[in-house]
Structure 1
Amino acid sequence: MGQARQSAHAFTGSAVAVVVAGVVALVTHQPWLFPSLGPAVMLHVEKPDSPESSPRNTLIGHGVALLAGYGFLVACGLTGHPSVLQEGVSVPRIIAAAGSLAVTALVLVLLRASHPPAGATTLLVSLGLLRTPTQLLVAAGAVVLLTIVDWLYGRASGRPMPLWAAPEQ
């Protein structure tokens, strides 16, 4: 695939995924769009055959990240606190951020499910930007939705992602 065609493919695939999630967010008034979806979509459309881009790694990665981030929010007593943007940095917030990122990295290495955007997801949670169980369920739903949209886009455009897992490279 030539550079112009590859650029158009990335442009279109990224836009389609974000528009779909954006429409769902608009209709539901829930956070179906959040920053770590951007790098996940870019991996899907730019490197669909990479293990890091596979549905397996995407879903496991963000799932582990959401659980680790929330686990550290609870462990550090931060579930009732406003986000780091409102409250500022504190020792418990640093522990939550460092711990959730470290656990996410550890588990994803052990599961051979590398997906770097998951590192941003765990920080979004441990920093309190997504902190309620409803927001976490919506975030998980958004990851599933965008993975399906990107998978369908890849099939339709001739640059398919694997059905589940890509071969290790």
Structure 2
Amino acid sequence: MSGLAEPTPISQYTLYEMLNKTPSKILAHFDMLTGGNQVISMVTYNVIDDKGNVTTKVMPGQTTFEPMLLLRAMDVAAEEVVLRFEDAVAGKVKTLRKNYSVSMNDANGNPLVWWHLYNALPLKISGFDFNMKTESTYTSFEITLQAELIDIDFDKGATSDAVAAALEYWAEATA
């Protein structure tokens, strides 16, 4: 059967609708999550001392969040995501801003980390992205969300042994 006819296996990231700060309905699974950086703008101001010398100083200003990109294989489940976000991307106000949660899952599908996206606006649904040379069996599908606020919540179920093993793995990978 072709990859477009059946959904891909459960992926590392899951997108949920969020109601009352609790993730509810699963919208889709994703293979990659990037972005969502917190950016603090700097406000500059000048100070004049007793002798008339001017010094420019900075202080933290407004905090914003960069768009978050979710990537998955193009399959039958991607069609549901497209239909869900088509109206929002087209600018229809009733579905424009919502709260979402994204979980990073372990190999068993259990959430490890949550990103809660408040007043998220779907900015973009990808077109066609396929590279026969490097990814002959994977056509990617992306959705980009812009949130007003992103909260990160680490699952309390992570044991100290699991954290130590993850840190050791990352240290080996970067060495």
Q: Decide: shared fold, TM above 0.5.
A: no
Q: Which structure has more RCO (C-alpha within 8 Å, separation ≥ 6)?
A: 1
The TM-score with structure 2 as length reference comes to: 0.23
Q: Based on CA coordinates, which of the two structures has the bigger radius of gyration?
A: 2
The TM-score with structure 1 as length reference comes to: 0.24
| Structure having the larger proportion of residues in strand | 2
| Structure having the larger proportion of residues in helix | 1
